[in-house]
Amino acid sequence: MPLLQVESLRVRFKMEEGYVEPLDGVSFEIEPGEVMGLVGETGSGKSVTAQAIMGLLPFINGEVTEGRIIFMGKDLLSFSEEQWQKYRGAKLSLISQNPMTSLDPVYRVGDQIVEGMLLHLNISRSEARQQAMDLMASLHIPNPAGVYYQYPHQLSGGLKQRIVIAMGLCAGPNLLIADEPTTALDVTVQAQIIALFKEAAIQRGIGLLLITHDLGVIAQICDKVAIMYAGTVVEFGDVVSIFNNPRHFYTKALLQCVPKLGMQKGILRAIPGNVPSVQTFPDGCRFHPRCSGVEPICRLQKPANIHLENGINVACVKYASHLKGSA
């Protein structure tokens, strides 16, 4: 049984001028101990997906209109606020984008880790302090006993991000969601933090959902990847298979946009047009205005999510014949 299963998730927000749908057709699965990457450009709905999984959609105007989110056999969408209090931060936790703003500047960093432990684990403060220091040591924070008593402004960017990861892991979650965890960091520090995530996922056997716009990071540590475009997962499956043999036109085009070290001159390609904003998502396939293989039907009809034989899912009409074959 997968740890987390997201099935054709659809989310809408009520705005002054009517409804917008930042998510329409998001499906993927994560197994325990697996690192899954969720990659997409600005406004593709990566962070809204994370919010929906964590039950953190703005309750005033946001709602899930379709789909299911199953976590360890439980339907998260049916959870009451009391149930969420037991799960959120304990069984599944979220590391949000910027380490500088995730920490409270007036509390010692160690106490910020302990806070989560006291809330979710039935232990005393001194036990929690010891566990926090152990956790910090396991995340390669030098001199945990000293760093524990420091304030966020005394730490470097990389150390702050390690503290934030410790906060995410403090109650021993089964699923960790990290939203752009390395975007604010320099490359040499990014390499250290990414290695740390991989180590933490393997050692603890937890599922890690890594949200990023960086295809290099995905290729480096993920087992599976879901490619998002304009609120839809267009392709999902094994990372090696998708990078070596992308099936969706967007995935193909996206991989050609990224310069690689040692790349031959003159082979960089751009995708024409702009990333649509949520108010201007086109009808039919949302990628059709920028797609090089567009057909008349793409303008009218949203493509179904097609399961190919090797565990790859792709939402493109070009593969519709596979749909008939499997049905």
Partner 1 sequence: MSSLVRVQNLSKYFPVTAGLLHRLIGTIKAVDDVTLNIDRGEILGVVGESGCGKSTLARLILRLIEPTSGSIFFNNQNICQLDKLQLRQLRRRMQMVFQDPYSALDPRYSTFRSLAEIYKIQKVDIDYQELKDRIAKLLLTVGLKPEHSNVYPHQLSGGQKQRVVIARALALTPEFVILDEPTAALDVSVQAQVILLLQQLRDKFNLTYLFISHDLALVDYFCNRAVVMYLGRVVEILPANKVSSTPRHPYTKALADSVFVADPAARKETVPIEGEVPSPFDLPNGCVFEARCPYARNVCRETAPTLDEVGDGEYVACYFPLINPS
The single residue among 27, 190, 232, 305 that binds partner 1, judged by CB under 8 A, is 190
Burial 2-23 (b: 16+ CB within 10 A, else e): bbbbbebbbbbbeeeeeebbbb
- Torsion angle of alpha carbons 26, 58, 68, 174, nearest 10°? 90
- Per CB under 8 A, 47 contacts partner 1: no
Query: Quick check: 95 and 160 in contact, CB under 8 A?
Result: no
> Which one among 1, 270, 296, 324 touches partner 1, defined by CB under 8 A?
270
Q: Does 262 bind partner 1 (CB under 8 A)?
A: yes
Q: Which of 123, 219, 294, 308 binds partner 1 (CB under 8 A)?
A: 219
**From CA 58, how far away is CA 38, in angstroms rounded?**
21
What do you get for the CA distance between the two ends of the chain, in Å?
A: 23
Minimum distance between the CB of residue 136 and partner 1, rounded to whole angstroms?
A: 16
The strands making up 92-95's β-sheet, listed across from edge to edge, are 92-95, 175-179, 207-212, 35-39, 224-229, 232-238, 313-314, 306-307
215 binds partner 1 (CB under 8 A): yes
Q: What is the three-class DSSP state of 63?
A: strand
267 half-sphere exposure, CB direction, 13 A CA radius: 10
**Which position among 67, 99, 158, 181 is part of the footprint of partner 1 (CB under 8 A)?**
158
| Separation between Cα atoms, residue 41 and residue 38, nearest integer Å | 10
Minimum distance from CB of 241 to partner 1 (Å)? 9
Contact between 271 and partner 1 (CB under 8 A)? Answer: yes
Q: Does 15 bind partner 1 (CB under 8 A)?
A: no
For partner 1, the closer of residues 122 and 244 by Cβ is 244
Q: With binding defined as CB under 8 A, does residue 245 bind partner 1? A: no
Q: State yes or no: residue 272 binds partner 1 (CB under 8 A).
A: yes
Structure tokens at 47: 């962070």
Binding status of residue 258 toward partner 1 by CB under 8 A: yes
Verify binding: residue 214, partner 1, rule CB under 8 A.
Answer: yes
CA distance 241 to 325: 21
* Part in contact with partner 1 (CB under 8 A); list of ranges 9-17, 27-35, 203-211, 272-280: 272-280
Return residues touching partner 1 (CB under 8 A).
41-42, 156-159, 186-192, 194-195, 213-221, 239-240, 243-244, 253-263, 265, 268-272, 274-275
